[in-house]
Chains A and B, each alone.
Chain A
């Protein structure tokens, strides 16, 4: 695994009363700023690990019928202690196609997702948006404005380019800035709360 652990000044343990782990997943194309966002809001230096997923498949050549293939998914994560009991884990996850087979196994139970977008490579986000809708995972889209990008596309143009429904929040951010990353998370949880409230109002 990664050597980041040895660079940590010391492990900061959770409160003894911590009992509720929560998760939010940050997805997006290569180099879009996922790790940067996790790092800017995390209380620990982002750590890195991997999960080996076993997929059962029907083997063509195997009379027994069942073969198993394993796929290794690496991801990084950070942590935010919300209060004495609740701890939010942020996962920076790869956006490639092969990863989405594993979404349920890896990130089931996630509160929601942030799709990070780089306007220079907008099509990298299509797949993530499509899959999140398919998995019915609530999400917001955050445009990581790299330097000099402000002139290029308006949020409305980006919404159209991503074919993003009106109900999906779309915001701008600078993944390097803590207050901006924090605002992205707040937008997501605010959105989730509205969804939960709407559901609670329907008998």
Chain B
């Protein structure tokens, strides 16, 4: 798989998808936040919302939704914010630290190691 040149897609389309908003307001979805749907799509829903609800019948990471929908992560965050604020999805946020100082504890890393060894 090769990296493609910078391409924002059709700006008009992104504008339509997000209703003109350019940033996710409330909660910050991490790339690996796992999202789960809490309801089935209902008639009249925006098609991207429908797709997301279908994708997250089982847990799925934000970054996977982005790849499946072929929309930049930024746009997906906005769409997820809509669904979260209306209770249609729940989010399981990650926990690990952002630098050496907040490394996860060794017991979590032990579990990761075990998982890798069992591959």
28 A–B pairs (Cβ distance < 8 Å), ordered by A: A5-B67, A13-B57, A13-B58, A18-B34, A21-B33, A22-B96, A23-B31, A47-B63, A49-B66, A51-B72, A51-B73, A72-B7, A74-B3, A77-B67, A80-B119, A82-B115, A83-B111, A89-B63, A104-B98, A109-B96, A109-B98, A111-B103, A111-B104, A111-B112, A135-B99, A189-B109, A196-B103, A196-B109
Question: Do the beta carbons of B33 and A22 come within 8 Å of each other?
Answer: no
Question: Do the beta carbons of A1 and B67 come within 8 Å of each other?
Answer: yes
Interface residue count for A (Cβ, 8 Å)? 66
A91, B64: Cα distance in complex, Å = 12
Question: Do the beta carbons of A22 and B32 come within 8 Å of each other?
Answer: yes
Chain B nearest Cβ from A200, distance in angstroms: 6
A193, B99: Cα distance in complex, Å = 14
Among A50, A72, A182, find the residue whose CB has the most chain B CB atoms closer than 10 A. A50
Residue of B nearest to A11 (CB): B68
Question: Do the beta carbons of B68 and A136 come within 8 Å of each other?
Answer: no
Q: Mark B59-87, 1 if CB is under 8 A from A, else 0.
A: 11101101110111111000000000000
Residues of B contacting A11 in the complex (Cβ-Cβ under 8 angstroms) = 55, 68
Question: Do the beta carbons of A51 and B74 come within 8 Å of each other?
Answer: yes
Question: Do the beta carbons of B115 and A88 come within 8 Å of each other?
Answer: yes
- Is A106 engaged at the interface, CB distance under 8 Å to the other chain? yes
Known: A13-B57, A51-B72, A87-B34. 14 other contacts (CB 8 A): A1-B67, A2-B1, A13-B59, A16-B58, A19-B92, A47-B64, A52-B8, A52-B72, A52-B74, A82-B115, A107-B31, A193-B110, A193-B113, A195-B100
Chain A nearest Cβ from B70, distance in angstroms: 4
- Is A190 engaged at the interface, CB distance under 8 Å to the other chain? yes
Residues of A contacting B109 in the complex (Cβ-Cβ under 8 angstroms) = 111, 189, 192-193, 196
Residues of A contacting B70 in the complex (Cβ-Cβ under 8 angstroms) = 1, 5, 49
Residues of A contacting B58 in the complex (Cβ-Cβ under 8 angstroms) = 13-16, 18
- Is A185 engaged at the interface, CB distance under 8 Å to the other chain? yes
Question: Do the beta carbons of A82 and B74 come within 8 Å of each other?
Answer: no
Residue of A nearest to B60 (CB): A14
- Is B10 engaged at the interface, CB distance under 8 Å to the other chain? no
Question: Do the beta carbons of B96 and A48 come within 8 Å of each other?
Answer: no
Question: Do the beta carbons of A2 and B116 come within 8 Å of each other?
Answer: no
A63, B97: Cα distance in complex, Å = 39
Instruction: Please provide the chain A residues from 20 to 45 with a CB less than 8 Å away from any CB of chain B in the complex.
Output: 20-23, 35, 41
- Is A186 engaged at the interface, CB distance under 8 Å to the other chain? yes
Residues of A contacting B59 in the complex (Cβ-Cβ under 8 angstroms) = 13-16, 18-19
A20, B61: Cα distance in complex, Å = 10
- Is B13 engaged at the interface, CB distance under 8 Å to the other chain? no
A66, B85: Cα distance in complex, Å = 30
Given contacts A51-B74, A72-B8, contact A109 B94 (CB under 8 A): yes
Given contacts A82-B115, A106-B31, A182-B116, contact A72 B72 (CB under 8 A): yes
